[in-house]
Structure 1
Amino acid sequence: MSDSTGGEADPATLSSPTGTEAALRAPRRDDGTAPLVLVLGATGYIGGRLVPRLLAGGYRVRALTRSADRIAALPWAGDVEVVEGDASDAGAMDRAMDGVDIVYYLVHSMHSGRDYGRLDRAIALTAAKAAAAHRVRRIVYLSGLHPDGVELSAHLASRQEVGDILIASATPTLVIQAGVVIGAGSASFEMIRHLTEVLPYMPAPKWVRNTIQPIAVRDVLYYLLAAARVDGDVQGTFDIGGPDVMRYSEMMNGYAAVAGLPRRTITALPVLTPGLASHWVGLVTPVPNRIARPLVESLLHSCVVKDDAIDRLIPPPPEGLTGYSDAVRLALGRIEIDQVETSWVDARVPDAPSDPMPSDPDWAGRTVFKDARRKATSADPDAVWAVISQVGGATGWYSASVLWAARGLIDRLSGGVGLRRGRRTSAQVTVGDAIDVWRVEHVEPGRLLRLRAEMRVPGSAWLELGVEPTAEGSEYWQRAVFFPRGLTGRLYWLSMLPFHGLIFSGMVNRIVAEAEEDEAPALVPEPRRD
Structure 2
Amino acid sequence: MITPGPAGASLMDPGKPLILVTGATGYIGGRLVPRLLAAGHRVRCLARNPERLAGRPWPGVEKVQGDVSDPEALAAALRGVAQAYYLVHAMGEDRPDFRGRDLRQATTFAEACARAGVRRIIYLGGLGDPTRHRSDHLASRQEVGAALGSSGVPVLEFRAAVIVGSGSASFEMLRHLTERLPFMITPRWVKTRCQPIGVRDVLAYLTEALEHPDLSGIYEVGGGDVLDYRDMMLAYAQARGLRRVILPMRVPFPILSAIWVELVTPLPMALAKPLVEGMTTEVVVRDPRALEAFRVRPMVYREALELALRRLDEDAVETTWASSLAGEPEGRALGAYEGMLLERHALHVRARPGTIFQAFCALGGESGWPAGNWLWQLRGTLDRALGGKGMRRGRRHPRELRVGDPVDFWRVEALEPDRLLRLRSEMKLDGHAWLQFTVRPEGTGSRLEQTAFFEPHGLLGLLYWYAVLPFHWFVFPGLIRALKRRAEASVTESRRGR
Tell me the alpha carbon deviations over residues 369-423 of structure 1, each in whole angstroms, 9 at most, x when there is no partner.
Answer: 2211111122222221110111111222211111111111111222211112111
The whole-number CA distance in structure 1 between the counterparts of 2:354 and 2:54 is: 23
Q: CA deviation at 1:456?
A: 1.1
The whole-number CA distance in structure 1 between the counterparts of 2:477 and 2:461 is: 22
Partner of 2:126: 144
Judged with a 3 Å threshold, the aligned counterparts in structure 2 of structure 1 residues 200 and 374 are, in CA distance, closer, same or farther, namely same
Tell me the alpha carbon deviations over residues 68-113 of structure 1, each in whole angstroms, 9 at most, x when there is no partner.
Answer: 212222110x321122111110011111112211111111122333
Judged with a 3 Å threshold, the aligned counterparts in structure 2 of structure 1 residues 353 and 108 are, in CA distance, closer, same or farther, namely closer
1:306 aligns with 2:278: no
User: Which of 379, 383, 392 matches 1:407?
Assistant: 379
Q: Is the 8 A contact 2:327 2:426 kept in 1?
A: no
Partner of 2:105: 123
Structure 2 counterpart of 1:257, which letter? Q
Q: Is the 8 A contact 1:210 1:248 kept in 2?
A: yes
The whole-number CA distance in structure 2 between the counterparts of 1:131 and 1:206 is: 43
The whole-number CA distance in structure 1 between the counterparts of 2:155 and 2:443 is: 63
1:260 aligns with 2:232: no
Structure 1 counterpart of 2:441, which letter? P
Q: Is the 8 A contact 1:399 1:510 kept in 2?
A: yes
Shifted more, 434-443 versus 490-499: the winner is 490-499
RMSD of aligned C-alpha atoms? 2.0
Structure 2 counterpart of 1:104, which letter? Y
1:104 aligns with 2:85: yes
1:213 aligns with 2:195: yes
Aligned pairs (5 A) from 1:103-502: 103-114=84-95, 115-232=97-214, 234-262=215-243, 264-271=244-251, 273-315=253-295, 317=296, 320-350=297-327, 354-358=331-335, 360-361=336-337, 363=338, 366=339, 368-502=340-474
Would you say how many aligned residue pairs link Structure 1 and Structure 2? 487
Partner of 2:40: 58
Structure 2 counterpart of 1:156, which letter? L
The whole-number CA distance in structure 2 between the counterparts of 1:403 and 1:524 is: 35
Structure 2 counterpart of 1:34, which letter? K
Tell me the alpha carbon deviations over residues 278-299 of structure 1, each in whole angstroms, 9 at most, x when there is no partner.
Answer: 1211111111111111111111
Tell me the alpha carbon deviations over residues 114-167 of structure 1, each in whole angstroms, 9 at most, x when there is no partner.
Answer: 132222112111111111122222111100111231244121121111111123
Tell me the alpha carbon deviations over residues 173-221 of structure 1, each in whole angstroms, 9 at most, x when there is no partner.
Answer: 1110000000011111111111100001122221111001100000001
Q: CA deviation at 1:261?
A: 1.1
Q: CA deviation at 1:357?
A: 1.0
Tell me the alpha carbon deviations over residues 296-326 of structure 1, each in whole angstroms, 9 at most, x when there is no partner.
Answer: 11111111111212123223x2xx3211111
Q: CA deviation at 1:268?
A: 2.1
Runs (5+) with no aligned partner, structure 2: 1-9
TM (norm. structure 1) is 0.88
Judged with a 3 Å threshold, the aligned counterparts in structure 2 of structure 1 residues 155 and 380 are, in CA distance, closer, same or farther, namely same
Judged with a 3 Å threshold, the aligned counterparts in structure 2 of structure 1 residues 487 and 373 are, in CA distance, closer, same or farther, namely same
Q: CA deviation at 1:169?
A: 2.9
Partner of 1:8: none
Aligned pairs (5 A) from 1:63-102: 63-76=45-58, 78-102=59-83
Structure 2 counterpart of 1:211, which letter? R
Tell me the alpha carbon deviations over residues 19-40 of structure 1, each in whole angstroms, 9 at most, x when there is no partner.
Answer: x9xxxx99x9xxx921211111
The whole-number CA distance in structure 2 between the counterparts of 1:391 and 1:349 is: 21
Structure 2 counterpart of 1:490, which letter? L
Q: CA deviation at 1:55?
A: 1.3
The whole-number CA distance in structure 2 between the counterparts of 1:195 and 1:311 is: 33
The whole-number CA distance in structure 2 between the counterparts of 1:356 and 1:350 is: 13
Instruction: From the CA coordinates, give the structure whose radius of gyration is larger.
Output: 1
SS state at 2:184 partner: strand
1:38 aligns with 2:10: no
TM (norm. structure 2) is 0.94
Runs (5+) with no aligned partner, structure 1: 1-19, 526-530
Judged with a 3 Å threshold, the aligned counterparts in structure 2 of structure 1 residues 127 and 505 are, in CA distance, closer, same or farther, namely same
SS state at 1:409 partner: helix
Judged with a 3 Å threshold, the aligned counterparts in structure 2 of structure 1 residues 524 and 304 are, in CA distance, closer, same or farther, namely closer
Tell me the alpha carbon deviations over residues 314-347 of structure 1, each in whole angstroms, 9 at most, x when there is no partner.
Answer: 23x2xx3211111111111111111111111212
User: Which of 450, 457, 480 matches 1:508?
Assistant: 480
Shifted more, 266-275 versus 493-502: the winner is 266-275
The whole-number CA distance in structure 2 between the counterparts of 1:354 and 1:168 is: 31
Structure 2 counterpart of 1:266, which letter? I
Structure 2 counterpart of 1:90, which letter? P
Shifted more, 463-472 versus 106-115: the winner is 106-115
